[in-house]
Structure 1
Amino acid sequence: MHRITHDDSECSNLRSAERSAKSSKTYRQLTGTIKGLTVGRLYGVGELTLTRFDPSRAGAVGALLAGFLVLAVSFAARSSIGLGMAPWFHDFGWAKGQVSAVGALALCAMAIAVSISGYAADRWGARPVLMIGSIALAIALSATALMRSYWQFAVGYGLFGGVGFGFVSLPVVGSLVVRRIEGWQGLATGIATSGTTAGQLLILPIMTALFGTIGWRGSYEVFAALTIVVALFSFFMIGKEKRARPTAKLAPNTPVIQRVGRLLRSRPFHGLFWSFALCGFTSTGVVETHLIPFAQACGFPPMTSTLAYSVFAAFNLVGMLSAGYLSDRVDRRGLLITIYLVRSLAFVIPLFVGLNYTLLLTFSVVVGLAFYSTFPATIGLSAAHFGRDQLGLVMGILTVGHALGAAAGAYASGYIFDLFLRYDYAWVVSIGLAALSAVMVVMTPDPRMAGRISQDGLTALS
């Protein structure tokens, strides 16, 4: 009979401890997997994974909510210039071209600011950048409420507003979201960036109503106060941030000039840059700035015109969320091409609107679906090609192009209207430029579809 020695007993205890550890580890892994799969099956987004920046779901939700709210305020402020065109013409005699020129100045200032804010968010985090931008926005809105002359409008809204738009912008919020969340980044980006249209959907109708009660000056004062409240709330919701780990092919201390130089030698980057620049012309420049003035030029009253804009904003929200969901599942290049082609076709509709309000609403629906729905796929392709740790820089440069295109579109459309007293030529130009955006995107394949995606790697330059 075999006698149990001290060594046998010790080995038995070790094997028992090992089985217990494996069982405990397996249980934890299984529990985590089940939780992830449960979330995925409930919401159709796959397994939810949070990065090491914030191990709690509350932190990720806070980042999404903060990004949503600050973008809502920023983009509503950008669109509010369309509401002011009619009363400012009455009070100051400013033509649409003059107001559009200040809008273009704001977008040019934004182009400069956003090139700084994206890199700053990569290096120091999104929270301080968003707070600085919110303060600049509050100053811009307050200055607009108090302005008495054109130069005050140019300095207040044009310069301070441009800085605010550049700091409270997509590159900064996109960088925040992509660093906090993995596994469903397309949908998460769509949710956060949908604030760009939710603010227009909720804030602009309220401002229109306030214009008729407390006047445009009082409305801008209320908006400035709202900006401060949202900034304080977002400061606490974002919480403490940490830097992303550097890409395998790019050292963390690589000079920014060298980073930009590598981007400029990348064919996928040029596909994203030029398509996004043309996107700025046809979206922010033409539609966002001139949809309400176009409706009023057709003979529709202010509230009816604003309602058409609200319909546009509502479907813009639907388009962004849908595009975010799809960008997690389909070829993002093909998705972008489809969106730009739909937008090109949508610009045919306003050529036949006249006094037909149904056609105006149809245009609002179609162009809304194909408006900022480009954002999730553009951000996703940027992260896939160039890495999360420099997403702020990449999106900052892309947004410079978008802002310059938007400035050109805003000014050109206002100039065309002043020259011909109609917007037809602006729509014709937009048809061609939106189609050209689709052509440019062809240069940017989706690495995921080729089986070469790397969450943190920099793709080969070509």
Structure 2
Amino acid sequence: MDAVTPQSHSGRFAHRAWWVAAAALLAIVVAGAFSTMPGLLAGPLHGEFGWSRGSVGLAASVNMVLYGLTAPFAAALMDRFGIRRVVAVALLVIASGAGLTTLMTTAWQFTLYWGMLVGLGTGSMATAFGATVTQRWFVRRRGLVTGLLASGSVFGQMVFLPVLSRIVEHHGWRPSLVTLALAACATVPLMWLVLRDHPADVGREPYGAVRHVPRPSPAAGAARRAVAVLREAARTGPFWLMAGAYAICGASTNGIMWTHFTPAAHDHGMPATTASSLLAAIGVFNVVGTVASGWATDRRDPRRLLALFFALRGLLLMFLPLLMSATVQPSMMAFVVAFGLLDLATVPPVVALCRELYGDAGAVAFGWVGAAHQAGAATAAYGGGAARDSFGTYSPVWVALGALCAGAALLSLLVGRVAPAEPAPGRGLTAADRL
């Protein structure tokens, strides 16, 4: 059993693990900036090419599906080739996808460049990437670090969204994509300098551990391992409960909010730049909520936390149609604060449950649960646009997703526990995994 020791206050953040976490956070921030672009592009692409919102939503859906499907394989590839190499290649792939999108002339090209290339690249830096970094480099403060890394994607939206919105408004949509491509390219050398694959590479132990932890041998057959983890996890009931709840999570956040909130607010007369600023404000509180969730996950039952987060989110979505207006009212600001606190707060509890249930394979298992999240997001991204085209309003979508969140709360409470002596599928639970 690995011993754990308190860290001195003076040396706490001098540990190399915090620098690796900071580098991972930067990569996630840059990748997160790409997720809100479809909402900004819907109007300009409709004006220039005559594409419907459904066509734009289709590309966003392909992006989200690949984002989810790539994550478990990327986590396995990190076990095979290392974190640093996978992240560097992923950043170059998303830069290529964004650059090629500026040259497109047909809707299928948008689906190929943005949907496939950007989806593959950003999926490699999804929350499974954060889970991998946390599992390798930390024994203590895992929930807190998971929350910090999970908040990075929305922090990227917060940082880039107002700037990108202004670029689209004043200079057109192509310069905004070039800006993102350059940001991704500029991040690559920083990742290569700072990121390391394992504490043993720099002669350190994971943060909070006493004894040295040797670097594991590269896992051969990354794709086979990812599929094997899915096969074993899929034999357990908790996996399907988490996957179902997380699919609803994706539909009620990435799928609808980050793709359709701006056009929905615009339907009520709100300028797109104002709506984008509201999304950015959600990102501010998202950081607070996700970090707080990570802190709480270190101390409370993650199942109850998930149920609480889903129940509150469902209520907010049901009331959203009543809050939409041409101007920002206090009620809308209250929604922004509350939704921001809850948006990504589900990530640390789900990561903790995957680690508890599936041990050393927890990061890859979480990648597969994340695939369900993105499948739900893709369904909402396409379905939300199609509903708007058919009914002329987003109101039924908000209410339906609010009701689904109530179901996700129930699913969260049904996730079972693993007894301390019971092995997880394929691997035994380590002492560090139970912390």
Normalising by the smaller structure, the TM-score range is 0.7 to 0.9
In 2, the alpha carbon distance for the partners of 1:119 and 1:252 equals: 9
Question: How many aligned residue pairs are there?
Answer: 408
Assess, with a 3 A threshold, how the Cα gap between structure 1 residues 200 and 366 changes in structure 2: closer, same or farther: same
Tell me which residue corresponds to 2:124.
Answer: 167
In 1, the alpha carbon distance for the partners of 2:58 and 2:100 equals: 17
The answer to whether the 8 A contact 1:385-1:457 is kept is no
Matching of residues 18-417 of structure 1 within 5 Å: 36=7, 38=9, 57-241=14-198, 256=225, 257-355=227-325, 357-358=328-329, 359-387=331-359, 389-417=360-388
Tell me which residue corresponds to 1:425.
Answer: 396
Assess, with a 3 A threshold, how the Cα gap between structure 1 residues 315 and 117 changes in structure 2: closer, same or farther: same
Deviation at 1:425, TM superposition (A): 0.9
Deviates more, 1:105-114 or 1:279-288: 105-114
* Deviation per residue, 1:202-244 (Å, 9 max, x gap): 0111111222333211121111000111222122211243798
In 1, the alpha carbon distance for the partners of 2:421 and 2:264 equals: 46
In 1, the alpha carbon distance for the partners of 2:280 and 2:306 equals: 24
The answer to whether the 8 A contact 2:137-2:199 is kept is no
Amino acid corresponding to residue 428 of structure 1 in structure 2: V
Assess, with a 3 A threshold, how the Cα gap between structure 1 residues 453 and 233 changes in structure 2: closer, same or farther: farther
Tell me which residue corresponds to 1:21.
Answer: none
Deviation at 1:314, TM superposition (A): 1.1
* Deviation per residue, 1:75-115 (Å, 9 max, x gap): 21011111111111111111211100111111222233223
Assess, with a 3 A threshold, how the Cα gap between structure 1 residues 216 and 158 changes in structure 2: closer, same or farther: same
Give the RMSD, CA atoms, in angstroms: 2.8
The answer to whether the 8 A contact 1:333-1:446 is kept is no
The answer to whether the 8 A contact 1:190-1:323 is kept is yes
Amino acid corresponding to residue 307 of structure 1 in structure 2: S
In 2, the alpha carbon distance for the partners of 1:107 and 1:327 equals: 27
In 2, the alpha carbon distance for the partners of 1:134 and 1:173 equals: 15
Name stretches of at least 5 consecutive residues in structure 1 with no aligned partner.
Answer: 1-28, 41-47, 49-55
Deviation at 1:245, TM superposition (A): 7.3
The answer to whether the 8 A contact 2:137-2:198 is kept is no
Task: Give the alignment's TM-score, normalised by structure 1.
Answer: 0.82
Name stretches of at least 5 consecutive residues in structure 2 with no aligned partner.
Answer: 201-212, 431-435
Task: Give the alignment's TM-score, normalised by structure 2.
Answer: 0.86
Query: Higher RCO, 1 or 2 (CA under 8 Å, sep at least 6)?
Result: 2
The answer to whether the 8 A contact 2:53-2:385 is kept is yes
Amino acid corresponding to residue 384 of structure 1 in structure 2: E
In 1, the alpha carbon distance for the partners of 2:411 and 2:75 equals: 23
Amino acid corresponding to residue 336 of structure 2 in structure 1: S
User: 4+ residue runs of structure 1 moved beyond 4 angstroms?
Assistant: 242-247, 251-255, 450-456
Deviates more, 1:181-190 or 1:56-65: 56-65
The structure with the largest alpha-carbon Rg is 1
In 1, the alpha carbon distance for the partners of 2:352 and 2:35 equals: 25
Q: Structure 1 vs Structure 2: percent identity of aligned residues?
A: 25
In 1, the alpha carbon distance for the partners of 2:199 and 2:82 equals: 7
In 2, the alpha carbon distance for the partners of 1:316 and 1:403 equals: 18
The answer to whether the 8 A contact 1:122-1:390 is kept is no
Q: Secondary structure at the match of 1:347?
A: helix
Amino acid corresponding to residue 22 of structure 2 in structure 1: L
